[in-house]
Each structure stands twice: as C-alpha cells, then as structure tokens.
Amino acid sequence: MNTKVLKVSDEGNFTGEELEYLKEAAEILKHGGLVAFPTETVYGLGANALDEKAARKIYEAKGRPSDNPLIAHVADFEGIEPLVSRIPEMGRKLAEAFWPGPMTLVFPKSALVPLGTTGGLDTVAIRMPSDPVARMLIRLAGVPVAAPSANTSGRPSPTRAEHVYQDMEGRIEMIIDGGPVGIGVESTIVDVTEEVPVLLRPGAVTMEMLESVAGEVRVDPAILGPVSPDLKPKAPGMKYRHYAPNADLTLVEGPQDRVVSEINRLAAEKLLEGYKVGIICTDETRDSYPAGMVRSIGQRAKEETVAHNLYAVLREFDDLGAQYLFSEGFPADHLGQAIMNRLNKAAGYRIVKVWPEAEL
C-alpha cells in the first residue's frame, strides 16, 4: 500500500485545496480505510468506529493486542448520544467543563458501538478533540472515528507526522500532516460509569482540574506504579509496557545537584563499558553533563514544554541507537503527573532515588 501524505495547516482557516484533502481522507474513513491525523494531544490512527472490520485493520497496522479498546472521537455533543446507553450526571459536568479538549470519558456503551471497537467491554471511551483538523475530518466523515495513537504498539506516541510515517508507511492509506501537535502526551481518561469518577490515565486535563469540577476523584492504582499480575487496570492499555524506547531507561529522582551527579556517574560507567549513552535533561541543567549524547526535553520551569518534547526525544534516541538512557525526574503534580506516568512506564519503573535521608 502506498501511504499518501497530505499537508494541512492547523490554524482552522482551511484553503479550498486543504478542504479537498480532508474530504479525500473522510472518503477513505467512510469506506473502511485508515487515516492518521493530528489531534492536540498526539497523532491518531483513525477508522470508522462503527465498522468492526475497519477497527480490526487498526489493530493489524499497530500490532496491537485486540483486547485493548479504542477511543471513539466525535466532533460535537450531538455525536455522543448514539454511542452511549446513558450519560451519567458527572459525565455531563466534565464534558461541559473540558470538551472540546484533551480528555476522554468512559461511558456505558450503546448497542451501536461494536465490541470490536471496545475490546469486548460494555463501555466506550469517547473524546471530543479541539484540534481544528481533527474536528473537520470527523465532521466530513460523518461517523465517530476510532483512533488510538498512530504508533506501532509499544513505541512512543507520534507527536509529528514524520513519526507516524516512520511507523505506518505502507500500512495505512493516508497521513494528514498538520505539523507538530500542541500538548504531546495522550488525553486524560476518566471513567464516569461509577458514582465517583476514576482517573484511568493522567493527561493535560490534570487531577487538580478534574477535582475543581467533580469534587472527589479516585485514581486507578495502575497509574501509580507497576501493575501486578493480579491487578487489572480499568484501562486495559495501561498494563502494557507502553512508550518504550529501545534503550534501557533509568529515571533519577532527587534534588537537582544530586540528580546531576548521579546521572553523570551512571553515564560514565556505561560509557566506559563501551555503550552508547543518552541523557535526558532540561534547559536548566543542559550544561552540567560533560559526556554522552545530551538532549534537553524542555524547561523545568514550564512543564508543558517537557510534555511537548518527551516522545520526540525518546524517538530521537532510538534513531541515534542509544543503548542506555538516564533521565531526570519531575514533580508528579499538575501536568507532571502525566509526564512521570509516561516516563515511569518508559523506564519499566527503573528508578534511582538520591534524596538526602532526612527527606525520605
């Protein structure tokens, strides 16, 4: 299959030519094909969410286990009702507060949504993205669009069309290139099927933001640490080692000066053994690492820059052939909760803590 790449500006004022491209993409979706497209979080790999056969193609293209359900993307509030059997009050409240935007809600599903889309679950995850390209594409397709992140299963999610091309060339009909995404980590997922909403995956709609609207919010234990075999995460995808770079990644947490010296020590050890070593640091600490391949992931003082660059840096180190990676850790509140959730998983929970004893 020849994968067509079409560029569309992400501003929302589409030219006639861009609209033609989006119509062509919508036709592919309508006819059961696959189109990758930008959203404000990461690039998605889209198919008609109501077409089980199309959903199956997504799993094939990604090499994804078929028990891992897909998120159905809609362009407006009218798109939701046919997909759900009821809208719990809390779901309505959170939707009104944060849609369109980087949040996914889990509802009880209607009979219209095939089990092939929901991984056999009787719930359906729905998101209304704010990205103008995504919204126009969904509108033109006239169907809800199932879209996981457009990476090969297990690789970091794509934040640029080039990342999608690396993973999906020859496997899908089309990639809509809307430039780099804004946020860079996947949407916050909240289950609203129970009385108290449950956070299943942290994202740019933060725990603090959810609590300001919902009051109490529970946190699924799967996002806090390694998933033990007897614990079943409510978002099936959270049990896989996602976001994994090819290299062995170790996270180092503690006060900045101690983190820097520990990373330098660990990196020197591996460099002496002859390995290719990468260091993931921040603008603030960039000049403190004399050896290894050093990449800043963003500004510690502006965590949205860290979220924005995270996956691109992990992919760059794959391209550079890094064998060992050492990364600074981040405070796990606000957007930091999503950043640390992804870094922890990428590291397979290999964490070195260098806090002074008094602070442990």
In the complex, the residues that contact ligand TXA under the rule CB under 6 A are 39, 41-42, 44, 68-71, 104, 106, 118, 121, 123-125, 127, 147-149, 186-187, 189, 200, 234-238
125 binds, among Mg ion, ligand TXA, none (CB under 5 to 8 A by kind): ligand TXA
Q: Which residues contact 327 (CB under 8 A, 6 or more apart)?
A: 249, 250, 251, 252, 279, 280, 281, 297, 343, 347
Q: Which is nearer to ligand TXA, 220 or 303 (by Cβ)?
A: 220
187 binds, among ligand TXA, Mg ion, none (CB under 5 to 8 A by kind): ligand TXA
Min separation Cβ 192 and ligand TXA, Å: 11
Min separation Cβ 353 and ligand TXA, Å: 27
User: Is 341 an interacting residue with respect to Mg ion (CB under 5 A)?
Assistant: no
- Helix then strand then coil, in percent of the chain rounded to 5, is 35, 20, 45
Q: Which is nearer to ligand TXA, 178 or 236 (by Cβ)?
A: 236
β strands within 49-137, DSSP E:
71-73, 103-108, 123-127
Which residues from 12-41 bind Mg ion, rule CB under 5 A? none
Q: Which is nearer to Mg ion, 150 or 279 (by Cβ)?
A: 150
277 binds, among Mg ion, ligand TXA, none (CB under 5 to 8 A by kind): none
Q: Which is nearer to ligand TXA, 87 or 354 (by Cβ)?
A: 87
**Nearest residue to ligand TXA, scored by beta-carbon proximity:** 237
39 binds, among Mg ion, ligand TXA, none (CB under 5 to 8 A by kind): ligand TXA
Q: How far is CA 357 from its chain centroid?
A: 35
Q: Which is nearer to ligand TXA, 234 or 270 (by Cβ)?
A: 234
Min separation Cβ 302 and ligand TXA, Å: 21
| SS3 of residue 185 by DSSP | coil
Q: Which is nearer to ligand TXA, 243 or 289 (by Cβ)?
A: 243
Long-range CB pairs of 179-183 (<8 Å, 24+ gap) are 179/9, 179/10, 179/38, 180/308, 181/38, 181/39, 181/40, 181/41, 181/42, 181/43, 181/131, 182/40, 182/131, 182/308, 183/40, 183/41, 183/42, 183/102, 183/304, 183/307, 183/308
Q: Using CA atoms, how far apart are residues 351 and 172, in angstroms rounded to an integer?
A: 37
Q: Using CA atoms, how far apart are residues 309 and 312, in angstroms rounded to an integer?
A: 5
Q: Which of 41, 48, 149, 309 binds Mg ion (CB under 5 A)?
A: 149
Which of 144, 109, 107, 111 is closest to 129 using CA atoms? 144
Q: How far is CA 333 from its chain centroid?
A: 18
Q: Which is nearer to Mg ion, 41 or 149 (by Cβ)?
A: 149
Q: Using CA atoms, how far apart are residues 15 and 161, in angstroms rounded to an integer?
A: 20
What Cα–Cα distance (Å) separates residue 228 from each residue in 30, 223, 224? 40, 12, 12
Residues near Mg ion (CB under 5 A), total: 1
DSSP state of 160: S
Min separation Cβ 288 and Mg ion, Å: 33
Whether the Cβ atoms of residue 219 and residue 288 lie closer than 8 Å to each other:
no
The window from 50-58, 89-97, 141-149, 339-347 that contacts Mg ion (CB under 5 A) reads 141-149
Q: Using CA atoms, how far apart are residues 52 and 127, in angstroms rounded to an integer?
A: 19
Min separation Cβ 251 and ligand TXA, Å: 21
Min separation Cβ 22 and ligand TXA, Å: 17
Min separation Cβ 317 and ligand TXA, Å: 21
Min separation Cβ 323 and Mg ion, Å: 25
Which of 163, 201, 165, 149 is closest to 42 using CA atoms? 149
φ/ψ of 11, rounded to 5, equals -85, -25
245 binds, among Mg ion, ligand TXA, none (CB under 5 to 8 A by kind): none
Q: Which is nearer to Mg ion, 235 or 249 (by Cβ)?
A: 235
Min separation Cβ 298 and Mg ion, Å: 21
Q: Which is nearer to ligand TXA, 128 or 347 (by Cβ)?
A: 128
Contacts to Mg ion by CB under 5 A: 149
